[in-house]
Chains A and B, each alone.
Chain A
Amino acid sequence: MSLEFQRLPTESLNIEPEEINQAVELSNKIPDDSRQWQTYINGLALFTFKKWIEERDENLTVNWQGSTIAKPSLANAIPIITNLQVGQFKICLISLGSLFDEQVSFPKLVIDLPEFVPHFYVLVEVLEEQECGVIQGFITHQQLIENIETQTTNIQRDWTYQIPLNWFEKDPNSLFLYLRTLEPEAIPLPVVTANRQQQLAAIENELVRLLPQLQAPETELWQVLNWEQGSVVLTSPELLEWVYKLQNNNLETALASLQTYLLDFIKLITRPAINLGRWLWDELDEIGESLSWQLLNLTPAREFRSPAEEFEAIKLQLQSQGVEIPTVARCGHHNFLLAGHPLRIYAVVWNSSAKNDPNLWSLLLILGAPVPNTLPNTLKFRVSDLTGILTEQQVNPQQVNSYLYTSVVGAWDEKFIASVNIADGVEVTLPPFAFDNTRAGLSK
């Protein structure tokens, strides 16, 4: 007879209505309904664990604001909660619903990616219907790794290990003992050795092709990416945010240019940026120097056909079109080749903070060709930031010897990236432009 009442374990903890509300709120932001349910159950597990710890030991508090469930873009990609903080220890919660197998699905990321590896994995059973939870056991990272190494544990297609429940220490009370008396060093954790940015930059083209396939909210990362690609995406909060927005249908970019935008996006987060803030101090930073950018001295004597002289002409032309460049602005230029065509770009930068709009900077980009050349007819000029492609302009064949220019404004911590394209796949992307005029930025 399977329809039997069971005794609610004495250790079970009630989940209060406000905690249920909070769990609902945490999961409300998840686009796919089955991940939403999982996040909801995870939220209930979190509040069970928090109560368990804090009711029992006044010296301990559970800080979950930095954990994966606190950020919807992480919760959307990670089916458990990790990076919970109790004192100096990191905790990962694995929640079990009312039905579970003899094995529990353990995401590979909390075992193999140092960014997510905790000191302790804690098993929390959640009875959603009964509104209560029970802490069922735990295992240290060390023990888990030892077990995985000595026993055959196959990795599943969906990037999970199947971990037998009997690996867990059944008496969760010892966890208190560890949390109170151990030093965190007693459980050594792996450290990030890989250069994540390099890894990301190395596979940017693969990701540009694959990530847009995640658009349907029910699509999971493992269905589209292999683990190497996945580990790069999972360790990039920006890319997870991008995927989250994509699945929420919240990107400002049209589908057709999604790949172009994504490429700009990845470059923005991986490429070292030129700090234009330094220009205000009449200095080039290292990156600007290495790419032979040159600052224009706007006042002194001019050489014939020098960039400075040319820029004066541009300024007048812009003025006639109603574009004013403030006198505090600084300008630099850079010559480069695209498919054999010599091109020149001017960047004009100034601090445009105002009383009611502090911490803003402005960037004016002007693309031209050094005389006697003109811009090729098929040339396109594009500027993007993390939110999308901001402008894309094309040469007007009627207007000879014209310039393409664009002006953008951003917060001090925002970056922009410009690309020049002459045909499909033939393009040059300049390093991102950043603006840091603080002392720290200057000393960089």
Chain B
Amino acid sequence: MTADGEKNQTKTNYEQLMKQMTGLKYYTLVMLNSTGNRQLREIEVAKRFFVDLININNNTNEISDTLIQKRLLELFQNNSSQSSLLAQRCLLCFISWQSEQVCLFLEKQFGNFHGFTCGDLLPYVLDDDGNLQPSNTYQCFSRQILDTFDSEKSSLTTWTSRKVKQHKELNKYLLDCGLYLISDWAILNDTKPQQLENILGEFHYLTKLEIEQAQKLLSAYHKVYRAERFSQRANNKSRGRCNLPTIPQLQEITEVLKTKEIYMSTKIVMQNLQNLADLLRQYRIHVRGASFPTESLDEELNEFALIEQISAPKSENIISEEDETKDFLKNYRLHMINCLDNGIKTVIQLRLKKLQKKDPEKANKFAIALHLFHCQRLSMSKIAQQLGLRAQDAVARLLKLKEFRADVRREILVKLKEQVIELAQKYSTPTSITSLEAQITEALDEQITNIISQAEVEATTMQSNVAMSYFSQRLCRQLDNTN
């Protein structure tokens, strides 16, 4: 055998393998066993059906999902055909693989920080029993996906991904983990018809006529859907995520549209609403990126991860910058420390009090987490482990460090200002106090900012070999005193 032949042989083997792998998805179902673990189940009848189908239709080695799915859909939709149920089974198997892919993707993207695994998500989307006939009492999720799929509008892969990501219960679970995906219906609820002029016209370049139609559709949707949501809210019936519009709701919308001389079937209304929501969603992301570049996941993570070490300013420098030329600031250093301690104490006490009211257990965890972070200098993920919290995200929400620092800063400023002005009054005439006050506020604020930013730097570089910030030193003293 020549070298070329060897190469060809390898290539053929590889293609063979790929073909098998591709095929596998159409007759093997990803499912959960009775103990909730993932397992693969090969469905014999589906396999025979599928292998025959491929051999008849495909004499070359080339095989594409698009072609396979097209053929399977034809067979599935042709109800008279004997193979309809089998073709459906193959498509359902494919959907199970695709659903798992979406969950794996979510885990990879967010799981670590937000504390979930693919295995936590699968139970929501994998409930297909693998039978040929659908159950009379219950429609499993993959059948819902297949039933609503329109091959002219999207591919089965995209559609499955879309449906999985919008799964109501899955969304609820992820929201508890600190992640959200806003539904089409919530976006439509919050959009005013007047906004469409700009969004559809200047962002999406739609024509005037298209915009007018969309405005009428949106108004009709508001009239029906929002009223319903509102009354559900009033009756405590609906919690959280918006439901799909029901058939009667869609019918009502078509009736409203008729009065505006727009005639659409409920199916088209549904499609147009979803298309509109898609356009709005794209715009939403665009605006959000530009207006509130909310801390990306990476940034948020960086607050706790070990990033490049920034040398922290020496704590002595911060409070030795007093202005010697002014008499009234002589006792300043002492006051500063005093106020910092007081501020930290006030803020911790308030946090504990508020948390205790809601959940004493949480208050307790907060106190421990604060200690572990500032005094023991543990990372967020370590703290999560120690406290039995879901993940870093949960620790971040518990500590709310940014707010904590802002609150301490405010308390220091308020207290220091009172004390320094009292001091200053000994040296100044009352008339000059007012203008002095502004100067002091400014001067103090600058110094406090110094202390706080040092603490911020520390938070992003939490490492045992970096000197502990003055803020942390005082905070830990405070915690030690109270314990």
| A-to-B contact residues, CB < 8 Å | 2-11, 17, 20-21, 24, 27-28, 33-34, 36-37, 40-41, 55-58, 97-102, 125, 127-131, 136, 158, 165-166, 170-171, 173, 176-177, 180-181
Contact B190 A99 (CB under 8 A): yes
| B445 surroundings in chain A (CB, below 8 A) | 177
Residue of chain A at shortest CB distance from B232 = A24
| B179 surroundings in chain A (CB, below 8 A) | 5-8
Asked if A130 meets B222 with Cβ closer than 8 Å, knowing A6-B181, A180-B410, the reply is no
Contact A11 B403 (CB under 8 A): yes
Asked if A56 meets B413 with Cβ closer than 8 Å, knowing A24-B234, A99-B280, A129-B186, the reply is no
Contact A177 B410 (CB under 8 A): yes
| A102 surroundings in chain B (CB, below 8 A) | 287, 290-291
Say how far B234's CB is from chain A's closest CB, in angstroms: 5
Write 22 A-B pairs (CB below 8 A) sorted by A numbering: A3-B162, A3-B181, A5-B174, A7-B296, A8-B180, A9-B294, A9-B295, A10-B402, A40-B233, A41-B190, A57-B350, A57-B407, A57-B410, A101-B287, A102-B291, A129-B183, A129-B186, A129-B241, A173-B410, A177-B413, A180-B410, A181-B417
Across chains A and B, which 8 residue pairs bring their CB atoms closest together, nearest first?
Answer: A97-B190, A173-B406, A129-B186, A165-B291, A98-B190, A24-B234, A5-B179, A2-B281
| A101 surroundings in chain B (CB, below 8 A) | 195, 198-199, 287
Residue of chain A at shortest CB distance from B434 = A183
The CA of A27 and the CA of B223, in the complex, are separated in Å by: 15
Residue of chain A at shortest CB distance from B182 = A98
Contact A131 B195 (CB under 8 A): no
The CA of A99 and the CA of B184, in the complex, are separated in Å by: 11
Contact A10 B397 (CB under 8 A): yes
Secondary structure of the B side of the interface?
helix
Contact A181 B241 (CB under 8 A): no
Determine whether B336 belongs to the interface, using a CB cutoff of 8 Å to chain A.
Answer: no
The CA of A4 and the CA of B105, in the complex, are separated in Å by: 11
Determine whether B187 belongs to the interface, using a CB cutoff of 8 Å to chain A.
Answer: yes
Contact A129 B240 (CB under 8 A): yes
Of B166, B182, B350, the most chain A CB neighbours within 10 A belong to B182
Residue of chain B at shortest CB distance from A55 = B354
Contact A5 B106 (CB under 8 A): yes
Known: A5-B180, A10-B295, A40-B233. 19 other contacts (CB 8 A): A3-B162, A7-B114, A7-B393, A9-B295, A17-B239, A21-B236, A24-B234, A33-B223, A33-B227, A41-B190, A55-B354, A56-B407, A57-B410, A98-B187, A99-B191, A128-B190, A130-B180, A131-B239, A173-B407
CB within 8 A of B226: which of A5, A7, A33, A130? A33
Say how far A9's CB is from chain B's closest CB, in angstroms: 6
Residue of chain A at shortest CB distance from B233 = A24
| B110 surroundings in chain A (CB, below 8 A) | 5, 7
Contact A36 B230 (CB under 8 A): yes
| B403 surroundings in chain A (CB, below 8 A) | 11, 56, 173
The CA of A13 and the CA of B178, in the complex, are separated in Å by: 12
Contact A99 B297 (CB under 8 A): no
Interface residues of B in 437-454 (CB under 8 A from A): 441, 445
The CA of A100 and the CA of B294, in the complex, are separated in Å by: 15
Of B183, B222, B230, B295, the most chain A CB neighbours within 10 A belong to B230
Determine whether B400 belongs to the interface, using a CB cutoff of 8 Å to chain A.
Answer: yes
Determine whether B282 belongs to the interface, using a CB cutoff of 8 Å to chain A.
Answer: yes
| A158 surroundings in chain B (CB, below 8 A) | 194
The CA of A246 and the CA of B276, in the complex, are separated in Å by: 35
Say how far A145's CB is from chain B's closest CB, in angstroms: 21
Asked if A130 meets B175 with Cβ closer than 8 Å, knowing A7-B297, A55-B354, A165-B291, the reply is yes
| B396 surroundings in chain A (CB, below 8 A) | 10
Residue of chain A at shortest CB distance from B177 = A8
